[in-house]
Amino acid sequence: MATTQQILDELHEIREQLLAESGGTLEGLVARLQKEQQVSGRTIRETRRTKRSTGVAVGAGFDVDASLPQPG
């Protein structure tokens, strides 16, 4: 059984490989992944923001940033 550290090391190695294959920048990686997503033809489901996910539920005790779009 692999240890947690072995798994993390493997994930970091894969991340470095993906970055290198995408020009070495996060922007390049994001562009690559977005292109692959479009080519795949898979439907991407957009989730709705809810009071629970934004922290504005009554009694939640969260401060809400008024500049953020609020669910309605």
Q: Is residue 33 part of a domain?
A: yes
Alpha carbons 40 and 43: distance in angstroms, whole number? 9
List pLDDT tens digits, range 7-49: 999 999 999 999 999 999 999 999 999 999 999 988 888 888 7
Q: Is residue 66 part of a domain?
A: no
Q: Is residue 67 part of a domain?
A: no
Residue 44: the pLDDT is: 80
Q: Is residue 58 part of a domain?
A: no
Expressed as residue numbers, the domain containing 47 is 4-51
List pLDDT tens digits, range 52-70: 777 665 555 555 555 666 6
Q: Got the DSSP string for 4-61?
A: HHHHHHHHHHHHHHHHHHTTTSHHHHHHHHHHHHHHHT---PPPPP-HHHHT-STT--
Please give the tally of structural domains in the chain. 1
Alpha carbons 60 and 42: distance in angstroms, whole number? 36
Q: Is residue 16 part of a domain?
A: yes
Q: Is residue 70 part of a domain?
A: no
Considering only residues 50 and 18, tell me which one the structure prediction assigns the higher pLDDT: 18
Residue 64: the pLDDT is: 56
